[in-house]
Amino acid sequence: MFDAAAFEARQQREGVMLDYSDPTDALAAPMRARIIDTFFAAYLRERADFHPQAPSRARIVIDPGYEGVAFVGDGDGAATITINPGWLARHPDDVDLVTHEAMHIVQGYPSYANERVPGWLVEGIADYARDLYGRENAAAGWALPTVVKDGQQFDTGYRVTGAFLKWSEAQHPGLVKALDGALRDGRYTPALWEARTGLALPALWAAYVQAR
pLDDT in tens, 45-97: 999 999 999 999 999 999 999 999 999 998 777 899 999 999 999 999 999 99
51: CATH: 1.10.390.10
Domain boundary residue, one of 54, 81, 108: 108
Please check whether residues 29 and 99 belong to one and the same domain: yes
What is the C-alpha to C-alpha distance for residues 83 and 4, in angstroms, rounded to an integer? 21
Residue type at 99 in one-letter notation: T
Query: CA 147 → CA 74, 158, 167, 185, 207, distances in Å?
Result: 36, 14, 12, 33, 13
Domain boundary residue, one of 108, 137, 170: 108
This prediction's pTM? 0.95
What is the C-alpha to C-alpha distance for residues 57 and 47, in angstroms, rounded to an integer? 12
Range of the domain at 163: 110-212
Please check whether residues 146 and 101 belong to one and the same domain: no
Number of domains in the chain: 2
Please check whether residues 172 and 183 belong to one and the same domain: yes
Please check whether residues 95 and 155 belong to one and the same domain: no
pLDDT of residue 82: 98
Percent of the chain clearing pLDDT 90 (strictly above): 94
pLDDT of residue 29: 97
Please check whether residues 65 and 139 belong to one and the same domain: no
What is the C-alpha to C-alpha distance for residues 14 and 45, in angstroms, rounded to an integer? 11
Please check whether residues 80 and 2 belong to one and the same domain: yes
